Structure formats: structure tokens, C-alpha cells
Structure 1
């Protein structure tokens, strides 16, 4: 080492020793003034005294030119200094109130690690053990600070910064020395000055709090981050040793191979750190070996609540319910089933990392009744291997065919079953004990209340939209009244002016204007008011023929396959509107050439069946199951989304059913099943006369 660097190192170490001496004297004076809380001072005094002796041993060895075994004296004192500072930090961790013994067990284990590392560093004349000591010290500081609540960090922040500053510098100094088999002279000379600059930060906590810190608690996140940091540090130390070996024995290629090795190692570390599976395994391992309970319930509850309330659209809540429950058990995927609009089946309304499913589970099925009766979280794999544990339960085939199916979590609300969440197999093996199931059931109850509130909100919004729709209808009726008045006046004048060319021109213009105005009104309002009068016998085939003729007048063709005299009971105008809506939708979906629209009617037992099909653009399964029959939900650019909703409501009012089969790019088939009616003398069916 050059003379200038030696002198700087001697000066820096002497200054550091003086700073540690001031700290020691301050602590001795404070100890005499304290009436309680002096145990922390007793613990830190040996560390500060050892720091004084270590700092002054370096200039002593240099100035006295000591050789032989005395040359190693600063190294041994440095190791002893590390060990005493470790004891002080571990003492601070042990000040906190014990929770069932797991905190004291953690401190004991860390103490044994500290003893082992200091012993290895004492008897191993290499730089690598010193690097390990510095990294372990950073782990202790990180764990100490992250355990502190916000109201206690102010008193411990300076000491954490002071110790972390010296440890970070030592990590740099010793890791570089281990990597290049030699200490950086400039960095070694600056070490004493760094320690001297950090000592004032160690003085502040003693003035702030007699016990240095307060209210320490070990959280699961801290344990996880500390363990991760320690493993990453040990990994980098191993790579450094391996890099030194490659460089030393690699000849001319040693430097190149070393750089390549370190780069690849860092990339591998980042890739492993981003692995969700690895993080899950680390959490499970820590929960088994270091923590009394698997979950930090306060943290889990807050995280789940944040997940549920982070949605910006009502539709996002369903997916957030899945993710919130899945994150609790390290599951990478899941799906949500809720009751459909008819409250007859559970249908999939949301999914996360799983394919769309068209499976529907009846509300009266064995599975649904079992979940309602017991409220159990069902382990699908456990049921397959031990069905006797779920007495009275049988799972549907669609569920057993899902290879990744793991847990069925019911969503209860007010004694009823709102739905259930299906979770996929976890990233790592997880024991399903009472703690896991209780947490899932509690969280599911909260999720069910959120979903029920969302459904109630949607119903309220739909009601308000209908109010707005009704208000709009009043304006439409007013405009129609004006049009009717104008046309009535024109008809009245036509009796005496029908041969007048000017009147004919005005009449043509008036009709054109009225037609345009009615087109504009139809764009605002697609449906009319319900007709008055009771239900009569209606020929479904006659209605289909009338709409086919109307389409033909507009240049469109509707193929008919109608069985004669297929009657049902209903209101003619409303049934015409339902069938017309279905045919118009089919025509809208088949605007391009090569597409086809057809209508079939036949008698099906005690039901009259009418089918309207096309091979047009089609609809997605998700839209059909969750949005098609909701008001103001449509796939059309200019549509209002009311026709399908009103059609379904009226068909159900008649005691019938309406089913939709659709696939994007292939077309749609809508089937109406209505109670059949035998008509002896139908009369003028379309006008409502007859039976």
C-alpha cells in the first residue's frame, strides 16, 4: 500500500476510534442518569468499546510495525466488533412482547447463525467470511426496521441508518476484495472516515428513547423479505467465489469468463425473484418453520378489502373476487359462478386465467344444496380420493372433468347461495387445514356481500334507466301526436283537393317529412306500449308470414318452414313485436351476401315452438349468458338493448321459455317454447278475433 494511502488509513481509523470513544462516554454518562431501561445501554457498551479498540488497533499495528500474529489483531477485533453489534441488534429484537414464543424462537435461531458466522470469520483468513458478516448485519437491520410500527421508527431510524451505512460500505469493500483477491487500497483508507461519519447517527437514538426503540413486532412480510434478502446475499457471495475461482484458473480467458458468469448469475437471480411459484414456496416454508399461524389476518383482511374496492367498473368486481380469494391460497387461476337472471342456474360470469365455460349448475342440484346446507369449502381432489368425508355430496361431471379444479368456495348471503368460486391448483403444495378454510369462508362472506350490493346497485341503475326511458317516451308520444294531427288534416283536405296538383305536391312532401320524423322517433324508441285487451289465440305461422312479407318488400328474404295451425295464447301485437324483434335482429346480423335467415314453427308436445335462425355474425357465450337479457345491453352500435329483455319478460309471462344458442362467426338460433292452444274457429287471428 502506498505511503499516502497508509497515512490516510491511519488517520481515518484514529478518527473513527475517537468518534466511538465519544459515543462510549456519552453512554456511560447516560447510564448514570437512568433509573430504568438501562439494559439496552449495557448491551451496546461492549459493542462501542470493541469498536474503539478495533479502530485504534490499526494505527497501533502500523506505527509500531508489529508483525507475525499481531498482524491479525485488527482482523480479530473487527470480527469481535461485528459479533457484539449483532448481539445489540438481537437484543433490540427481543425487547418486543412475545407472541406465543415464535418471536423468541426466531431471535434464538438468528443468534446461533451470528455465533456461527463470527466463529468462521475468526478462524478463516479470507475476505469472503467478512462479506458474509456484513450481509448478515444488513439482514438484521432490515428486519429490525421493517418490524417497527410508524410511531416507533422515529427513535430507531438513526441507529438503523448508521449501522446500515457502515455495513453497506463493508459489503462493498470485502466483496470486491473477495472477487479480485485483494483489497482496494483507497476504499480501505476511507473505511475509518466512513465509520466516523456514521457515529453521530448512533448518538441520536440514546437521546430520543432510553430503550433505543419501542413497539417492535415481527410481521410475516418482514420475515419473508429478510429471508429473501439473506438468500440473495448468500447466492451473490457464492457467485463471487466462483467468479474468483474462474478468473484465477482461467488463464487469458479468466476475466472474460468471470464477467460472463457474473452477468448470467444476476439474470438468473432476477428471473428466480420474479417467479410466483418460488415466492409461494418460500412463504409456505416460512409459515411452517418460523410462524405460529400461517396468515397475518390483519394484513390479509386489509389486502382483500383493497382488492374488492379497487375496481372502477362493476364488471371488474367479479374478477377481483376471484383474484382476492386465489391470492390467499397461492392459486394462479379461478372462475366465478353466480345465479342467472331467472334464479334457476349458476352460470359463469367471470374468470381469471381459465377458459370460458358454458356449464350451468342448477340451483336445486346436489352440489348447490350441499354448499347451502353446510357452507363448507370443498376440496375436489379430496372428494375424489375420500368421498366419505363429504357425506351426501356428488359433484357434476363438468367439474370432475376439469383437471386443475381444486377448491369450491361458496358465497353465502342471507341464508341463500349467491354463487361459488372455483379455484385452480396452487403454485405450491398447500395443506388445507382449519385456518385456510376459515379464512376463505370469512372472505367469501365479505365477497358475497359486495357482489349482492353490486347486483342491487345494477338493479337500481336499470330502474333509473327505465325511468329515463319512460320520460323519453312521453316526448316521443308528443311528437307522434303532432304527426297524427298533421296527417289527419291532410286526409281531411284530400277529399276536396285530391285533384289539385299543388296539393298533391304538398301531400307528398308532408308524407316524406312525416316518414323521416317517424324514422327518427323509431331510432329513439324501438318498442311501443303494451296493447289493451285480453289474450287470444294467435297463429305463430301467420305472424312469421307477415314479417317475411315485410322483409321481402325491403329486398330481404326470410325462408319459412311452418307447420300449419300452430297456435298459442297471447296478445297479438306483443307476440308480433317479439317475433319481429327476433327476425329484425337476424336480418341485422346477415347484412352481407351469402348469409341466410330462416323461421321454423312446429308443435312440440304440449308446446308450440318457433325458431328464428341465421348464419350471421353471432354472439359470444359470455354475452349470451351475462348480458343479452339485461336491459340496455346490446351488441349493436345504434341499439338500445331493450328488445331482448322485453321479449324474455313477455314469453315468461305467457308461461313459456326462450333459449339462445349462438357462436361468433357462425350464427344464432333463438327458440320460443309457448303453451300450445287448440283453436276450433280461429277467425281473423291477427286481428285478435276468435277463441
Structure 2
């Protein structure tokens, strides 16, 4: 054996011996009061001793053969005791397999005898060769018998014990299967392969120790429950190990052939077989078949509900700009449960019929008549029934639509029930491995359907809220415009009343033309705002003197009521002048409505810090604190006859849209002060208003 192989072999056996020794000590502490537990400790200890004898004594010494026979004896007794503790069924197995136990025990005695004879024979003699060949044959026969017995013990174990026995059976199968290949190569004198197998034997045994520890980690009487990922990975590792052994056996067979032509043919066949396996292994159908077999023989339930639910939530909860729409995500989540290749989502149309609204991975066209029959919907809603489409198709059920009879891919129809109301349905295609639906499928799909219905209902609610928000924005904007039109109508009506008395006055006619022109400009501006669907914040912000806006409002409102202006009219603000005038018109009109006929309304301009204050002061009836808190800024709540109830609300919203705010102070019987706070234009400074500019 070369240097690297010798190092791998020695250290592999040492590590494996240490692992089995630790496992024996740990097992002895957990199962010290049970006969089978004590025998298991003995088998693990004998395995550790055998591995040490190989590491420090080699493979050709007497103690190595004897300890291997003792190792096999220990595991044989374990295979006898394990079924005997499983009750009457286990005892029937022990009685039925008693001849096999007896044959294996005799083979062990014969091995020990041959090992002793081989140690006494002269090395290299024909007698020694015959003894060695006989010993190899006996060990091969023992390995074959042990593999048969292990499979029988596993099959005879009940459903509960089978989960516990599976890892141990797999470990023993790997150990004796490796022995069979090793002794076969030695008997056929394939020395190159035999040396490599001897070197890797320790590493293989080291890998088996954690498998046995997985079972022993469970409490006595409590079966081990490996995850499906571990079971699937273990099956894959076992399959890979089997493929490696088969490939190795094929290479050995090629090496033993003498004819070049025959070797070439066998090599080609071997290469074709390996290529076919590699092409077939990734097949979806094969994976589905193996998963079904693992679930059927190693687990009580078909589904790992924790894994399924976490994957379901992760698929639906995928976020980000590249994530598919919600409806495609729920379809994929439903299809992943049953490994279906495609899915369709049916939701009500305008006529209330369930029609196709979305699809995932669907190939092919759907007919225009792809509508779920009302009788089918009634059964799904009244019974929360998952429709077995394949079964109904086979029975020629008339409730199944014709287009579903014609499509052989369709497999299950899942109702989406939300608080007892049918919101839609999900149609799943059959999985890669066709199988009938069972109670687990029905329960799992029914629960998933309710969850999907919740997401669909939430999506509909969000869409309805978005539409309501848009209508609310439009209604708010339209209500503001209507309120402004109402003020303009009042202003024009006032001009019309005054014209009856002052129509002959040239000054009045001049003011009337000016007022009508301003009203026309404002109405055109309102129409423009309505046509372009102006949103809040779409303002023309520019610096201007507050005195100009105040003077424009006073020119109109002062005709019907005394309005006084106080303060610094040259204070400049950064705002939309039209919006400021609109706020002043609302607040001044409200102050006039609340005041006596001779009580003046005061408009005061001040500068405070980095802002300008524009106060509208009246000495009218005032407002209570409750009204200020609950009613003043509440839209469509008005105390005036024919009022819209949005003047104060619109004034506050306009102020906020320009970076300002509106403050109110009021005392019943003493009046109110509405103070508009606006940001100054740049630094705190005064600019000449229009009146001052004209004087200059």
C-alpha cells in the first residue's frame, strides 16, 4: 500500500474506532438497564476494537480476523434481540428467521476456525492459499446472509419501529455491502481495487457512526424523526454510494478481461449505462417517485407541514420590484404543495361567473368557454369541497365542464373560501407522478385555499380603498371649487343688487366692471384647475408683499362690510398669491358673517421670527372650544344656512400646501382670531407693496 493510502487507511480506522468507542460509552449510560441496550454497547465496543486491530496490526493478522468475527457476532445478536422486543409480531419474525440465524452463527464459527488454521499454515503454500480462499468465500456468504437478515428485520418492524430501524439498517447494509465488495475483489485478485477499498474502509465506518448516533439520540421508546431533507439527502447519498460500487465493479470486470475487443465493447456499454443514469437521475418524475417512496415508508404523513407552510408563506410574501404579481405568487405557492407543473386562478367577472383571471406556468390556450359550472361552485361553497377533477373525468360526471373533460392535465380544483363565501378557485395540473388525491391532499389544499382567499380578499380591499381615495381626492377638489364658485356668485349677486341703486354713478360702473373682470378671471382659473385635475401642492410659489393680497381682498369685501388693515403691508412671503387671497376671502367672509353690521373686521400683518403672521380678527359671536376641536375643520360640517362646510378646512389645507399653518383662537361672545403663518421670502425683510411702488 502506497504512502498516502497507508496514511488514509490508518487514520481512517483510528478515527472510526474513536467514534464507535465514544458511541459505546454514551449508549451504555442511556441504556444500561436493558438487555438489548447492553448488547448494543457490546456490538459498538467490538466494532471499535476491530477497527483498532486493523489500524495497529494490519489486515493479515489473526486478531484482525477474530475481532471481525466477534464484531459480526455482536451485531447478529442485536438483530436477534431488536425484533424480539417488538411484541408478538417480532417474535413471529424471530421464529421464522431462526434457520438463517443458525446458519450465520455456524458461518462465524467456521470463520474463526479458518482464521486459526491460516495463522498456523506456512505462508505461500498451496494449503495456505486454499484456506485463504475458503475464508474469503465464507466471509462473502456471511455478508450476503447478513444483508438478507437486515432487510427482513427492517421489513418485519412495525410502522413506529421502522422509522427507528431505518438508519441502523442502512448503516449495517452499508457496512456489510462494503465487506462483500471488498472480499469479492480479493477473491478475484483485483489487487489495485482491493488495496483502495481496504484504505477507504475506515473512512466509510467513520461516516456510519453519526448515522447510528442519530437513532440513539432519541429517548427510549421515542422514535427518531429525521427531517425530510435529511431523509432525502441520505437516500441520495446511499444511491450515490451504490452507483459508485456498481461503477467500481464494472471497472474491475473490464480489468479482468483479456481480449481488447471485448474490453472495448464492455467499456462502451459501461459508459452508455453511466450516461443513461446521469440523464435519468435529474428527471422530475424520478424525483417525485423517490419522494413518494420516502414519505410512504419513512414518515407517517405525506407532507412536512412545517416546511410546506414556511415555503408557502415565503413564496407569497416575496417582495421587491422584480417580484411577480400577487396572483401569480399564490398560484405558484399552491402548485408547489402538490408539485403541480401549472395552475390557473378563477375569479368572478362582471356577471359573477368564475372565469380565468391569472395563470402560472400554463402552456396552451384556454377556450373562451372556460367557465366553472354553477353546480360545481355550489358544491365547493356548501361543502368546502376540493374537486378531484381526475376522478370526475373518469366517472364522466356531468357537473364537470366539457373543456375540463378534454384536458387530461387537470387534476384538482381548490375552492377559495373566505368567511364561508366563495371568492374564486385554483385549478392545479397533475404532478409528475400521477397519483390519486387522498385525505392529506384534501386537508392541505383546503387549508391553503383559505389562506389564499385571505390574500385575494386583502388585494380586493386595497384596490377598493385606492379607488375610494381617488374619488375622495376628486370630490375634495371639486368641493373646494364649488365653494369658491359660491363665493363668486355671492359677489356677483351683491354687484347686481347695488346696480339697481347706483347704476347711474360712473364710479360705481367703473368698480362694477373691475369686479366682474376679477370674477371672470377667477372662474377661468377654477375651470383650468378642474380640467387639469390639480393636486394639493401644485402651487406657483413666488415672493410677494402680503399687503397686495390683503388690499385685493379688502377691495371686494370692503364694499359690503367695514374692513380695516393694520401692520406692515410690505412684509414679503414665499407663497402662492392666488392661494393666499383665496384663504383671506374665506376667513374674511366668515368673520363678516359672524360680526354685527357696524363691527369692523381687522386684517393685521406682522412679522415673527422667520415667518409672517396674517390675522383676521372679528368681534362677533365667537366659537366654543368643543366646536373648535370637533367641528371647525371637519369637511362638510357647516352651521350656516346653505353653506358647504369646507371654507375653514380648505383654508387650512391651502396653508399647509405652501409650508404654512393656520391657528385659531376664539371666545364665545367676544370674537375670533384666525392667524395664517407663512414663511418669509428669503431672509426677514420688507419689500414695497403695490401702493408704495405707485407712490414712488
- Normalized against structure 2, the TM-score is what? 0.47
Relative contact order, higher structure (CA 8 A, sep 6+): 1
Which of 1 and 2 has greater Rg? Answer: 2
The normalised TM-score by structure 1 is 0.48
